Structure 1
Amino acid sequence: MAKPLRIATINTNGIRAAYRRGMGAWLDSREVDILAIQEVRASTEDIEALLGPDWDILHDAATAKGRAGVALASRKASDHGKASIHRVSLGDEEFDSAGRWLEADYEVNGKIITVVSTYVHSGEADTPKQVEKYKFLDAMSNRLPELAAHSEYAVVLGDLNVGHRELDIKNWKGNVKRAGFLPRERSYFDRFLGPLGEDVTGVDGTTGKGLGWVDVGRQRSGEVEGPYTWWSWRGQAFTNDTGWRIDYQLATPALADTVVEYAVDRAEAYDQRWSDHTPVVVDYDI
């Protein structure tokens, strides 16, 4: 029997810095088949040098050097085909999504699985940064149905910079007016994850059609706080587990049905962290 396909996502907060702190040891130990990376902040050559010759690399850099950047790395020895098609555009032509959206198709046991590494804008309430974030979420709303039509096995993973529900942020009451937990942002996720084709009323009171995607983390963890995936470097946030769950694997229902394992690889101690995010690792038995 073939082993499940292991897909992981991590916002490295700069891959070179993450490797200096220990990312390589984590990757060597986890037998990941496909790795989605956000906030690469490095060149393709840098990624290839860090990961080594055992990986095929796809990378979409941000327009501004040293900012954002997303990548997909697939292990050459794994039981899947090299990416046959990859796409980087999202939204209208005038919308700059560079370094924030990277799709690739892989063949696994005769099936095509589409994997997307994405880094949604962090935003800032009542500023142009928030306008750009809503543009990105609008573009995602349009692209998700196209992805599902392209392949019944599709997964969008990465730092989506929105805590969907109160369970996803430790101090949610103190963040209801901050980017990352604004009602309008959360309502996008209500629609992303709502029943396909049904009217869904978001927490901001707006109504739209559900897109039918599955939040693998919430499906597997149940109605519990977290498990969180990001903690501030400052103060005692990590030690006290005062975090946010903003790193996701959103899957089509057919792919979500194949999940056999979900893990948040939280470091054992503050000084063992190599990013302010932690990897989210899912096994899909396709």
Structure 2
Amino acid sequence: MTQLTTPEVSGAFDVASFNVNGIRAARRRGFDAWLARRRPEVVAVQELRCGIGDVGEFDGYHAAVDVGSIPGRNGVAVLTRAEPLAVRTWSTTGPTARGLGEFAAEGRYVEVDLADRPLTVASLYLPKGGLPADLQRPGSMREKPDGGAKHARKMRFLDSFRRELHRNRLAALRAGREFLLVGDLNVAHLEHDVTNWRPARKMEGFLPEEREWFGTVTGPRTLVDVVRRLHGDRPGPLTWWSWAGESFTKDVGWRIDHQLATPGLARRAESVTVDKEPAPDQRLSDHAPLIVRYRSLAAG
């Protein structure tokens, strides 16, 4: 059995979000070396894209996992240095908000109560969606037009997940815990979050209704966009670049990976780092790890 060590709770701690775009491929490219070098206290992982038997172990970490029931799709995890007090997934406990039932078995959400800090961390992989019917143009899309079905499905998710998020945040606070939503939300909120934001206004992930939703789940009294608060009112930091062309080299990308924290935790955020690899052939995924350092949040 892997020997696990409990981190010191008196100092700062790092939380990472990483859409690995397939954990087996990411491990072949060097995920484990990155993990050993960085050693975040918490790592929220999205898009495992494998069965439970292929997830494997992570040296020095406990893994709370929901791979879902769709072969080769989705899948989320939270890796923690100390075994969590509780783990909740939609496939086992079910979502609390109506409307999420159709997504419950897809491996999109896992939530853990940390044992060494009064903090609940959730890893989310939000549906990518698609374009509404009026923006679909045959011949100009990579996928076959679907009449807006994927867009409608994503909007159903957003509407229901807003209620789910509200309930889970309040449940954590009632239990004396801060709450942190981490993951690939497949939504960029502001113009600073997309390199070429003008044409992106007619692309999934930056549509007006998606950006409006982001604004409804964040605010100074609910959940704070920690990365934007730290980075300030300026472009970036980007977390996703297409595999195609020279997007990575020219740094033309999006910020769709987020950390949304309750105000008490957000005030403890000290720094944000995006571990963008130095060259395209060294990429672990089409996303880069997003790491936020927080000041001490010791267990009471």
| In 1: Cα distance, 2:88 partner to 2:11 partner | 25
Contact 2:64 2:87 (C-alpha < 8 Å) held by counterparts:
no
The answer as to 2:249 corresponding to 1:247 is: no
Query: Any residues of structure 2 matched to 1:41-120 within 5 Å, and which?
Result: 41-49=49-57, 51-52=58-59, 54-76=60-82, 82-88=84-90, 89-90=94-95, 91-92=97-98, 94-97=101-104, 98-109=106-117, 111=118, 113-120=119-126
* Distance 1:43-1:3 versus aligned 2 partners, 3 A rule: farther
Work out which of the residue numbers 183, 202, 210 in structure 2 matches 1:185.
210
The answer as to 2:123 corresponding to 1:123 is: no
Contact 2:188 2:255 (C-alpha < 8 Å) held by counterparts:
yes
| In 2: Cα distance, 1:83 partner to 1:30 partner | 24
**Bigger shift: residues 67-76 or 86-95:** 86-95
| In 2: Cα distance, 1:83 partner to 1:47 partner | 21
| In 1: Cα distance, 2:161 partner to 2:229 partner | 21
* Residue of structure 2 equivalent to 1:204: none
| In 2: Cα distance, 1:34 partner to 1:263 partner | 15
| SS of residue in 2 equivalent to 1:107 | coil
The runs of 4+ residues in structure 1 deviating greater than 4 Å are none
Contact 2:187 2:211 (C-alpha < 8 Å) held by counterparts:
yes
TM-fit CA distance, 1:216? 0.7
The answer as to 2:267 corresponding to 1:257 is: yes
TM-fit CA distance, 1:10? 0.4
Report the residue type matching 1:7 in the other structure.
Answer: V
In the alignment, structure 2 segments of 5+ residues that lack a partner are: 1-8, 133-147
TM-fit CA distance, 1:95? 2.3
* Distance 1:241-1:176 versus aligned 2 partners, 3 A rule: same
TM-fit CA distance, 1:178? 1.1
* Residue of structure 1 equivalent to 2:246: 236
TM-fit CA distance, 1:61? 1.6
1:132-188 CA-to-partner distances (Å, cap 9, x unmatched) read 211221122102222221224111010000110111000111111111000000001
| In 2: Cα distance, 1:73 partner to 1:95 partner | 26
- Aligned-residue Cα RMSD (Å) equals 1.6
| In 1: Cα distance, 2:127 partner to 2:11 partner | 35
| In 2: Cα distance, 1:139 partner to 1:195 partner | 22
Query: Any residues of structure 2 matched to 1:149-164 within 5 Å, and which?
Result: 149-152=170-173, 153-164=178-189
Report the residue type matching 1:156 in the other structure.
Answer: L
TM-fit CA distance, 1:268? 1.2
Contact 2:220 2:263 (C-alpha < 8 Å) held by counterparts:
no
The answer as to 2:172 corresponding to 1:145 is: no
* Residue of structure 2 equivalent to 1:171: 196
Report the residue type matching 1:222 in the other structure.
Answer: G
Contact 1:48 1:57 (C-alpha < 8 Å) held by counterparts:
no
Report the residue type matching 2:181 in the other structure.
Answer: V
Could you tell me the TM-score, scaled by structure 1's length?
A: 0.87
| In 2: Cα distance, 1:82 partner to 1:116 partner | 12
Residue identity (%): 39
* Residue of structure 2 equivalent to 1:134: 155
* Residue of structure 1 equivalent to 2:290: 280
Contact 1:15 1:41 (C-alpha < 8 Å) held by counterparts:
yes
TM-fit CA distance, 1:195? 4.6
| In 2: Cα distance, 1:156 partner to 1:55 partner | 20
TM-fit CA distance, 1:87? 3.3
* Residue of structure 2 equivalent to 1:209: none
Report the residue type matching 1:123 in the other structure.
Answer: G
| In 2: Cα distance, 1:74 partner to 1:141 partner | 26
Higher strand share: 1
| In 2: Cα distance, 1:248 partner to 1:265 partner | 14
TM-fit CA distance, 1:131? 1.4
In the alignment, structure 1 segments of 5+ residues that lack a partner are: 197-211
Could you tell me the TM-score, scaled by structure 2's length?
A: 0.83
